[in-house]
Chains A and B, each alone.
Chain A
Amino acid sequence: KLLYQLLFIYDHANPLNITVNMEKLIQCPVFSLPDPQWYPARQSIRLDPKGKSLKDEDVLQNLPVGTTATFYFRDLGAQISWVTVFLTEYTGPLLIYLMFYFRVPFIYAPKYDFTTSKHWVVHLACMCHSFHYVKRLLETLFVHRFSHGTMPLRNIFKNCSYYWGFAAWMAYYINHPLYTPPIYGEQQIRLALIIFLFCQIGNFSIHIALRNLRPPGSKTRKIPYPTKNPFTWIFLLVSCPNYTYELGSWLGFTLMTQCVPVAFFTLVGFIQMTVWAKGKHRSYLKEFRDYPPLRSPILPFIL
């Protein structure tokens, strides 16, 4: 992907121009790009070819430029909004799992079509799995505040393959006519359900706490701290407790279903979330001098 060099001459002396920020500048008729289909979300403008992208809120006056400003432009490729990606990747597992639960034809042997499992844990698992993804969909619509509006288009294919593929793989075995319920029976299922619900509430509490850190429409970043909600007290030990609780939920679900594909999904998710948590933790440390030293990225004291 090529980098274009743009030259923009603006008059430092003219006070009307000084407070122009990048978002407004891009829409200014003077600022014309080689290809008109490069809508703002696709544009990466930077002051240094190898540097970081300038943000929409950056104001010309505060940038290290003289009376002429040289910007470098890069096309980020087709973009898609985070909300769209999240809604698509979460609706898939919800519907796919239900297809396996209701034993839609062509999945299992024809004599099992539209039958239901005789194990009550299978019904419970369906409720938990569906609840989890409904919760995620509602959070995407009403809770989350995204700092980036968009991501590259190819991500939707990658993400959907991951979520939809794993959902199908797990659902196939859990809802299979030859499914074997957990060895330790009711005790195991009850414990698993408690862990699952506890972590779901925890995860939701963290999402609410993170939302409240940021006023609507702003993109400020602040250190999250424990609130009155006991589920947020984990902030004392962990930078990204939403991932911690997510791991806990899936461990609960693995225990509940006693199913290797679920364990696998939990493991892969854990590895990915650890990578994200470490990155977030590092950027917290870089951005805030007074960041609490006791915190670990995802697992208290361990990771």
Chain B
Amino acid sequence: MASSEEDGSVEEKENNNKKRTKSAVATAWLTFYNIAMTAGWLVLAMTMMRFYIQKGTHKGLYRSIARTLKFFQTFALVEVGHCAIGIVRTSVIVTGVQVCSRIFMVWFITNSIRQIQNEESVLLFLVVWTVTEITRYSYYTFNLLNHLPYFIKWARYNLFIVMYPLGVIGELLTIYAALPYVRRSGMYCMRLPNKYNVSFDYYYCLIIVMLSYIPLFPQLYFHMLRQRRKMLHGEVIVEKDD
């Protein structure tokens, strides 16, 4: 009887150890990931600044950072995985929507429609994204290392108030600028008749995407505002539970 009790407690300890090692692995990975992403976006920021200082213009700036941008922005897809397996406690849907909108901009707008790559609106959202991502990833990094300087926390929960709307403006203006080129080239279009009995018009799809910012942006913005109140002022917010 005594030995079975011992076995039981040894097993329990093993399970606890497994749980602790699992979260240690997760923490190690997340720390590495966030440091890498901070570094990546810092590199992007510095390349952009150097280009602008050397050339004095933003024309050609997108092309110079295109590959790095695509790499780091696409890699952010793993964050959806983090939420799905639970090592990061954020909603999968919120993260998914945010990452997908970025991927969409990078791959389906600026990458495929070369004529708009030198627009000012592209520079605008690139700057906004860079500032936002550096702040966000360094916040996560310091959080994981349990040493969070107040100014990073302040930046994360205050800069977005200005950055978010500016980013949306940059993105919307870019999509709007792309519309005539999409219409003229008929890119990504599928016409009837075809054996799948479906059609797709990228032009109208982009218009729908632009319209979808109207309901989606306020939701994400107010979500961040609520997070801000909770984190900075420690307000007890009455949660709506249905």
Closest to B195 in A: A180
**A178-B192, A178-B193, A180-B193 known; A173 and B242 CB under 8 Å?**
no
Q: For A174, list chain B residues within 8 Å (CB).
A: 197
A-B contact count (CB 8 A): 31
Binary B-proximity of A256-269 (CB < 8 A = 1, otherwise 0): 01111100000000
How many residues in B have their beta carbons less than 8 Å from beta carbons of A? Answer: 10
**A1-B240, A1-B242 known; A180 and B194 CB under 8 Å?**
yes
Shortest distance between the CB of A276 and any CB in chain B (Å)? 18
* Majority secondary structure, A binding face: loop
Shortest distance between the CB of B204 and any CB in chain A (Å)? 13
Q: For A258, list chain B residues within 8 Å (CB).
A: 195-197
In the complex, A2 Cα to B193 Cα: how many Å?
55
B198 within 8 Å of A (CB atoms): yes
Instruction: Tell me the residues in window 173-206 of chain A with beta carbons closer than 8 Å to chain B beta carbons.
Output: 173-174, 176, 178-180, 183
Closest to B191 in A: A178
Q: For A261, list chain B residues within 8 Å (CB).
A: 197-198
B197 and A260 contacting across the interface, CB-CB below 8 Å? yes
In the complex, A180 Cα to B196 Cα: how many Å?
8
Shortest distance between the CB of B217 and any CB in chain A (Å)? 20
Instruction: Tell me the residues in window 172-203 of chain B with beta carbons closer than 8 Å to chain A beta carbons.
Output: 192-199
Q: For A259, list chain B residues within 8 Å (CB).
A: 196-198
Q: For A183, list chain B residues within 8 Å (CB).
A: 195
26 pairs, CB–CB < 8 Å, chain A vs chain B: A1-B240, A173-B192, A173-B197, A173-B198, A173-B199, A174-B197, A176-B197, A178-B192, A178-B193, A179-B192, A179-B193, A179-B197, A180-B193, A180-B194, A180-B195, A180-B197, A183-B195, A258-B195, A258-B196, A259-B196, A259-B197, A259-B198, A260-B196, A260-B197, A261-B197, A261-B198
